[in-house]
Chains A and B, each alone.
Chain A
């Protein structure tokens, strides 16, 4: 039987895993054969087995007779109540519904608020009364629209507008967005409306002021009661 120091033996590290049954079957067989041949390892194994048995017996006699307390935990089946939404709801308690509504409102405002704001800005056209020949300004592109408008080309009269002198300086006119065309995009061809002009020359001169559209948006085209009676023969 070989007499070597157990710590120098190449099987020294196998003693503990063997004792706790954590070696594979071939490794265990090899270690067992080695134990038969190595006194140092056998004595070492006996020493640690002794110490281990003391702890084992202590546990068996003192702890195993103790009854294990039973804790009843209301487990929820994994199939229900563990979704992401449920976790959020559980985290917020009773404030989940009003909080969710408020969050949805906040998200909606954050999402659509800027769009509403920018649509209002698009509608704004600054009219500078100090300019000799005021031209429409595209606020979005900051470029002056220098093209002639269809109303000027076709000689279509437009609705009478305020005198520039009557306007307050820095006054901002509102023009509907659909009348603002992006610079450089193809201009839709519109046929001049057959409206009979009853404006004076002074008014025509004022109408020389370029506008963004060729018709007055505020023109009231609704049917008038007087027009209905125009065709009725009221003579005796």
Chain B
């Protein structure tokens, strides 16, 4: 099998693979922009690689905006459908990641608006729809379970390696689910310091986890 440099053209990469069986393996080594070019030229596998590469990040962004996993999953799915439909409009002025982020933000706002309208329509329904959400059981293959276990180990190590004051804020926020004001009162720190510490902690954590594969199989 003849491999060429990643900086060469997409077509060169494709042509370097004689039988086309290892196309997906080659796609993983391409940049986002080249994958978009391939997707524009009606290559479904290229767009599949984009989804695989960004699915988890877009889902995390949606989860950060919506705060619910089921809604975030729907919004992430809607994001990639919208991206596939409008991929021909991508002009390359911005990064692919920024383009996807913007679509995701739009989708999240749409989901929020829809949820707000729905809650106003069923305002009299005391039970509400939050308790009766149907979530499809996620099937965990052995490969995915192994990947998840590896990721958890890395996350645990990354959190443990944070300085104590940053780790403390993360634990209080994520595990104890305290508000910023409660953390500020508990640690006797200014509110701005608490936010700054959490922001720094998340940034450092992100850098430590860069080597972690972000895709969800």
Tally of A interface residues using CB under 8 Å: 34
- Measured CA separation A77–B56 after assembly (Å): 50
**Closest residue of B by beta carbon distance from A19:** B64
- Measured CA separation A50–B174 after assembly (Å): 14
In the complex, identify which listed stretch (A36-44, A83-91, A136-144, A224-232) lies at the interface while the others stay far away.
Answer: A36-44
**Total A-B pairs in contact (CB under 8 Å)?**
111
Cβ-based interface call for A1 (8 A): yes
Q: Which of B25-84 contact A (CB under 8 A)?
A: 56-57, 59-61, 63-65, 67
Question: Is A46's CB under 8 angstroms from B152's CB?
Answer: no
CB-defined contacts of A20 to chain B, threshold 8 Å: 173, 179-180
**Closest residue of A by beta carbon distance from B204:** A51
* Min distance, Cβ B105 to any Cβ of chain A, angstroms: 5
Question: Is B203's CB under 8 angstroms from A56's CB?
Answer: no
Question: Is B64's CB under 8 angstroms from A36's CB?
Answer: no
Cβ-based interface call for A202 (8 A): no
Cβ-based interface call for B94 (8 A): yes
- Measured CA separation A1–B57 after assembly (Å): 21
Question: Is A54's CB under 8 angstroms from B205's CB?
Answer: yes
* Min distance, Cβ B63 to any Cβ of chain A, angstroms: 5
Question: Is B159's CB under 8 angstroms from A56's CB?
Answer: no
Q: Which of A49-81 contact B (CB under 8 A)?
A: 49-59, 61-63
Cβ-based interface call for A35 (8 A): yes
CB-defined contacts of B56 to chain A, threshold 8 Å: 50
**Closest residue of A by beta carbon distance from B174:** A55
CB-defined contacts of A42 to chain B, threshold 8 Å: 98, 101-102, 105
Question: Is B206's CB under 8 angstroms from A51's CB?
Answer: yes
- Measured CA separation A187–B3 after assembly (Å): 132
Cβ-based interface call for B109 (8 A): yes
Question: Is A32's CB under 8 angstroms from B109's CB?
Answer: yes
CB-defined contacts of A199 to chain B, threshold 8 Å: none
Summarize B's interface: helix, strand, loop or mixed: helix
Cβ-based interface call for B9 (8 A): no
Question: Is B61's CB under 8 angstroms from A16's CB?
Answer: no
Cβ-based interface call for B14 (8 A): no
CB-defined contacts of A53 to chain B, threshold 8 Å: 59-60, 63-64
Question: Is B64's CB under 8 angstroms from A49's CB?
Answer: yes
- Measured CA separation A192–B206 after assembly (Å): 112
The interface centre, meaning the residue of A15, A36, A43, A55 with most chain B CB atoms within 10 A of its CB, is A55
Cβ-based interface call for B15 (8 A): no
- Measured CA separation A83–B205 after assembly (Å): 51
CB-defined contacts of B205 to chain A, threshold 8 Å: 51, 54-55
Cβ-based interface call for A22 (8 A): yes
CB-defined contacts of B159 to chain A, threshold 8 Å: 55, 58
In the complex, identify which listed stretch (B16-24, B124-132, B194-202) lies at the interface while the others stay far away.
Answer: B194-202
CB-defined contacts of A32 to chain B, threshold 8 Å: 65, 105, 109, 112
Cβ-based interface call for A101 (8 A): no
Question: Is B101's CB under 8 angstroms from A43's CB?
Answer: yes
CB-defined contacts of A48 to chain B, threshold 8 Å: 64, 199, 202-203, 206
Q: List 28 A-B contacts (CB under 8 A).
A: A1-B94, A16-B195, A16-B198, A22-B179, A32-B65, A32-B112, A35-B105, A36-B106, A42-B102, A43-B97, A46-B60, A46-B64, A47-B206, A51-B203, A51-B206, A52-B60, A52-B64, A54-B155, A54-B209, A55-B155, A55-B174, A55-B205, A57-B151, A57-B155, A59-B175, A61-B152, A62-B156, A63-B175
6 closest Cβ pairs, A-B complex: A49-B64, A53-B60, A51-B202, A51-B206, A46-B61, A50-B60
* Residues of B that sit less than 8 Å from A by CB: 56-57, 59-61, 63-65, 67, 94, 97-98, 101-102, 104-106, 109, 112, 148, 151-152, 155-156, 158-159, 170, 173-175, 179-180, 192, 195, 198-199, 202-203, 205-206, 209, 212, 214
- Given contacts A36-B109, A51-B209, 10 further A-B pairs with CB under 8 A are A36-B102, A42-B101, A46-B60, A46-B64, A47-B202, A48-B202, A49-B63, A53-B60, A56-B63, A61-B152
